[in-house]
């Protein structure tokens, strides 16, 4: 449904503005008047949800809003007024979203229902937890847990991104240097050897061949790179299970640890928030970030719905984790056990990641050294042979 922005006056004559969903300008005017307001300007605008897709979603902003809302509610501020107060602190898209949520609340919608209008900002697990908090009367506690969860999840992503910055930067610089050498520098050096009638060592011939390919067929290499990129995107879009299955075979165990961290963290969080286990499994399956694991969790959900235990339904998960889940089921403390296990997985993930990065740096340096050594030997070897002939 289209979204309209309006400016006008309230019954007291004070200026007011807001946004409203309507079938058209006429319908928007009727809805505004039905609220007791007098519209002055009405203009259609892109919905906050659609415009939010044009910007990068920031979990930290959502976490901050969630934590502030929890504080306001804990202080006794009514929900509608709390949302209104938060809207005054925000600008742009976030301000419009909060104003719209406030209007939906004023119209009688629940907080979870109002937030479901923005699935790109408030995902299913978020609105599910909000709904559970509203039904149980523990909305303030649930909001606090949501803020902690979003911040923790963002910290994990930040650690991964930060750890990869240096290796990726070094890799890109190395590739640029090699391209410069093979396209501009080496052809001028090897031109001397091409003009001589003396036989050249195989390593020099190989260097000349590689340089010729880069210099004369660079466009073909670009097409090949573009083709590989498009093929990867197609496979990721249509057969993502192939890529995700390969990622599960990671010999370092870093990615598997990351998936198990997401599973235990999200599952424990949702269960502690009061969500039923079947709903928690459905939401957790999407949070793992791996289609293969998602299918296994959904298959386990079907078995659990028929009366099976969670620990006996999860196929392909680490035996240690399954034993921990079994213990949690027997003691009735599954949520608590999963949350503690996620802390262990997070610590292990950080150790493995730092170890991998510490190994990757010397590997990059060694690789560059071997390539540079290959170039030096290929250039100097024929020069030494030519000196021996002249003697």
Could you state, in chain order, the average pLDDT of each consecutive group of 10 residues for the chain (391 residues)?
71 78 71 80 58 55 91 91 89 84 87 85 84 83 87 83 82 84 80 69 84 84 90 87 88 87 88 86 85 91 92 90 92 91 89 84 85 85 68 54
- 193-196 long-range contacts (CB < 8 A, ≥24 apart) are 193/382, 196/386
Q: Which residue's structure tokens are 């509610």?
A: 73
The predicted pLDDT at position 56 comes to 45
Q: Which residue's structure tokens are 């590689």?
A: 210
CA–CA separation, 307 vs 302, rounded Å? 9
In this prediction the pTM is 0.68
Q: At what angle do helices 240-247 and 291-305 cross, to 10 degrees?
A: 90
How many other C-beta atoms can be found within 10 angstroms of the C-beta atom of residue 198?
A: 9
Sign of CA dihedral 184, 188, 193, 194: positive
The predicted pLDDT at position 320 comes to 92
Q: Give residue 269's Cα distance to chain centre.
A: 19
CA distances from 189 to 79, 182, 213, 214 (A): 75, 10, 16, 15
How many other C-beta atoms can be found within 10 angstroms of the C-beta atom of residue 237?
A: 8
CA–CA separation, 241 vs 245, rounded Å? 6
CA–CA separation, 326 vs 316, rounded Å? 15
CA distances from 139 to 154, 267, 272, 273, 283 (A): 22, 19, 13, 10, 19
CA–CA separation, 147 vs 150, rounded Å? 5
The predicted pLDDT at position 188 comes to 79
The predicted pLDDT at position 391 comes to 54
Q: Of all helices (H) and strands (E), which one includes residue 279?
A: helix 277-287
How many other C-beta atoms can be found within 10 angstroms of the C-beta atom of residue 202?
A: 10
Q: Of all helices (H) and strands (E), which one includes residue 344?
A: helix 334-390
């Amino acid at each position: 449904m289209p979204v309209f922005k309006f400016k006008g006056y309230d019954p007291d004559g004070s200026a007011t503005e807001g946004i409203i969903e309507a079938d058209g300008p006429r319908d928007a005017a009727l809805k505004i008047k039905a609220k007791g307001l007098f519209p002055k300007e009405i203009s259609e605008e892109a919905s906050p949800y659609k415009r939010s897709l044009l910007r990068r979603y920031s979990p930290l902003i959502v976490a901050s809003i969630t934590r502030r809302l929890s504080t306001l509610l804990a202080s006794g501020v009514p929900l509608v007024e709390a949302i209104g107060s938060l809207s005054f602190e925000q600008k742009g898209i976030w301000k419009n979203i909060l104003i719209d949520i406030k209007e939906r609340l004023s119209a009688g919608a629940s907080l979870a229902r109002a937030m479901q209008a923005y699935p790109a900002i408030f995902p299913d697990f978020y609105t599910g937890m909000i709904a559970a908090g509203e039904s149980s009367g523990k909305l303030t506690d649930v909001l606090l847990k949501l803020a902690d969860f979003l911040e923790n999840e963002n910290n994990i992503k930040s650690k991964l991104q930060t750890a990869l910055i240096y290796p990726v930067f070094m890799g890109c610089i190395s590739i640029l240097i090699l391209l410069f050498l093979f396209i501009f520098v080496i052809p001028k050096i090897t031109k001397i050897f091409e003009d001589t009638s003396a036989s050249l060592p195989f390593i020099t011939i190989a260097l000349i061949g590689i340089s010729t390919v880069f210099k004369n067929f660079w466009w073909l290499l670009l097409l090949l790179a573009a083709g590989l990129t498009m093929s990867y995107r197609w496979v990721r879009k249509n057969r993502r299970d192939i890529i995700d299955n390969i990622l599960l075979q990671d010999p370092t165990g870093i990615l598997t640890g990351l998936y198990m961290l997401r599973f235990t963290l999200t599952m424990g969080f949702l269960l502690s928030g009061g969500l039923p286990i079947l709903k928690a499994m459905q939401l957790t399956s999407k949070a793992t970030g791996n289609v293969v694991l998602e299918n296994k969790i959904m298959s386990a959900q079907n078995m659990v719905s028929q009366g099976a235990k969670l620990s006996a339904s999860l196929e392909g998960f680490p035996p240690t984790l399954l034993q921990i889940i079994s213990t949690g089921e027997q003691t009735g403390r599954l949520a608590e056990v999963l949350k503690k296990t996620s802390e262990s997985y997070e610590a292990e993930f950080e150790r493995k990641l730092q170890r991998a990065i510490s190994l990757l740096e010397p590997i990059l340096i060694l690789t560059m050294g071997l390539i540079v050594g290959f170039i030096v030997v290929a250039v100097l070897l024929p020069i030494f042979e030519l000196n021996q002939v002249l003697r």
